[in-house]
Chains A and B, each alone.
Chain A
Amino acid sequence: MLVKCPHCGTRPVEEFTFNGDASVQRPASNDPKSMDQWFDYVYLRDNPKGRFDEYAHHSSGCRAWLVVTRDTQSHEIFNVVTARDYAKKRVAP
């Protein structure tokens, strides 16, 4: 399985450390009333079949945090962006 790092080019998946769903968003509020949102954010994860945005750290390469979009069933990789670009795009869609 090959992942195309935006900084390093195509590398084997062994060079990366995966760290779960990138689509979850940290609640903005610390208000106790937002406990349910926090519970969701910390503990609850979907287990989608198909397209999935996932954090990946290029731990044995440039050490950048990336977001890899892949198919959880076929493992086809659609897109790889830096986590920075992913976050920026989310703030200003």
Chain B
Amino acid sequence: MPEIFQRASPLADIAIQGRFGADHGAPGVTLSVRHPALIVTVIARKGKAKTLAEALKNWRGATVQWAGAEQYFVLDRPFDEVRKKLDGLASCSDQSHGRVIIRIEGPKVRQVLCKGTPVDLHESEFEIGKSVLTQMAHVGVHLTRVERDAFELSVFRGFSESFWEWLTEQAEEFGYQVI
């Protein structure tokens, strides 16, 4: 089937590449937008939570993130593949167009994010691969630690512009770059 619609990132004209904020030394954080992204919401059918959790384990090529009780985000796999694989176990819905994933990394990442969330981001409490749902600047955020000093923030598309504004403001004091 021909691809009729081209997905445009809502941050295409907002997340301008460059170096911003405090301009001494290395940038405190580096921001980037993951676009395009494949994002599928997966919610367990009644009584299938355990079987679903098993099915999601060791799925090559997919990134599975906790997203609430008996709910997950499956990233990096096309919607049809996810739906077929989880047939009967879960309800799936394509969110690729509905959410924006912002990656933030660097030595000051924790200092930037902790201005917005009460969640304890210390490594001893928040290990690599862990996801939480929380609120930053009144915006619902799905937050995942992908590396020791790197997080991914997934927000609804319609909030992404104001969220980006808030996030970059918090990063200004440390200096940040957008790549």
Binds A, one of B76-84, B129-137, B161-169: B129-137
Size class of the contact patch on chain B: 10 to 19
Shortest distance in angstroms between B114's beta carbon and chain A's nearest beta carbon?
14
B132 contacts A60, C-beta separation under 8 Å? no
In the bound complex, residues from chain B placing their C-beta under 8 Å from that of A63 are 68, 133
In the bound complex, residues from chain A placing their C-beta under 8 Å from that of B119 are 11
Size class of the contact patch on chain A: 10 to 19
Interface string of A56-71 (1 = CB under 8 A from B): 0000111110000000
Question: Which residues of chain B from 106 to 156 have a CB within 8 Å of any chain A CB?
Answer: 118-119, 132-135, 140
Distance of A87 Cα from B71 Cα, bound (Å):
21
In the bound complex, residues from chain B placing their C-beta under 8 Å from that of A60 are 133-135, 140
B contact patch SS: strand
In the bound complex, residues from chain B placing their C-beta under 8 Å from that of A12 are 118
B135 contacts A62, C-beta separation under 8 Å? no
Residue of B with least CB distance to A58: B133
Contact of B135 among A7, A15, A64, A82 (CB under 8 A): A15
Interface string of A1-41 (1 = CB under 8 A from B): 00000011001101100000000000000000000000000
A8 contacts B118, C-beta separation under 8 Å? no
In the bound complex, residues from chain B placing their C-beta under 8 Å from that of A62 are 68-69, 71, 133
8 contacts between A and B (CB under 8 A): A8-B133, A11-B134, A12-B118, A15-B135, A60-B133, A62-B69, A62-B71, A64-B69
